[in-house]
Structure 1
Amino acid sequence: MPLTQVRGATHDPGIAHERKGAKPGGTHVPGIVTAGRFRRHGDLVFWAARKPADAVVIELAEGAPYSRLVIETADPRATVTLVEQAIA
């Protein structure tokens, strides 16, 4: 995703409990993996996480292919800092 489409990033462990929505191209096995595209309230969200508690939520600008990316990282807080510095 180009940085021009990134609005910000957060570490949100609670996202694990958020309803994923319809799966137009995704897999969701609770406690195992969430991966692919999910549509909820008209928004398309891309997930790539085995442990959502370690996920970074990247908010994207209008016009981007997805409204958010939910990506698991080894160090969520450091990843958020890197993303925020890159878009500043």
Structure 2
Amino acid sequence: MISAVDIYDQKLVVRFVGWSRLWALKSQLSFPIENVLSATHDLGALPRRLGFRVLGTWIPKIITAGTFYWNKEWSVWNIRSGKNCVVIRLRNEKYSYLVLEVDDPSEIAARITAAISN
């Protein structure tokens, strides 16, 4: 696991685990659940371009972690293989979306979707 995603007190909390803290230059992010638009495990939902790395690490096909800027949108990435990714879209936040590698992306996406609909 390189990212842990939880929902506490109507907040989406993302923790960067292990070396991911160093690579992404972040340890935790938190967003009110009402600012979360969607969460999906659909790999087709991955943005086609990273953009410019502002903070973090990018080694092609090995690690993508940190803050990126492209097409007037800020994003946070924390992935290695890209297979177990969840894409979380946000509104009214600095970041437009998060791309995170997690242990069970389908379960995380389902939990976030359930929290959004409540």
Does the TM-score normalized on the shorter chain lie above 0.5? yes
C-alpha distance in 2, partners of 1:33/1:42? 23
C-alpha distance in 2, partners of 1:43/1:2? 19
Residue deviations 1:35-66 (CA, integer Å, cap 9, x gap) = 000001010010011122211000001x2010
What are the equivalent positions in structure 2 for 1:33-52 lying under 5 Å apart? 33-52=63-82
User: Based on CA coordinates, which of the two structures has the bigger radius of gyration?
Assistant: 2
1:54 alignment counterpart? 84
Of 93, 96, 104, 1:67 maps to 96
Aligned alpha-carbon RMSD (Å): 1.4
C-alpha distance in 2, partners of 1:27/1:8? 26
Return closer, same or farther for 1:12/1:29 CA change in 2, 3 Å cut-off: farther
Runs (5+) with no aligned partner, structure 2: 1-30
Runs (5+) with no aligned partner, structure 1: none
Number of residue pairs aligned between Structure 1 and Structure 2: 86
C-alpha distance in 2, partners of 1:2/1:48? 20
**After the TM superposition, which segments of 4 or more aligned residues of structure 1 sit over 3 Å from their partners?**
none
- The two structures have a TM-score, normalised by structure 2, of 0.67
Aligned residue type for 1:44: W
- The two structures have a TM-score, normalised by structure 1, of 0.88
Structure holding more helix per residue: 1
- Name the % identity: 37
- 1:26: Cα distance to partner? 2.5
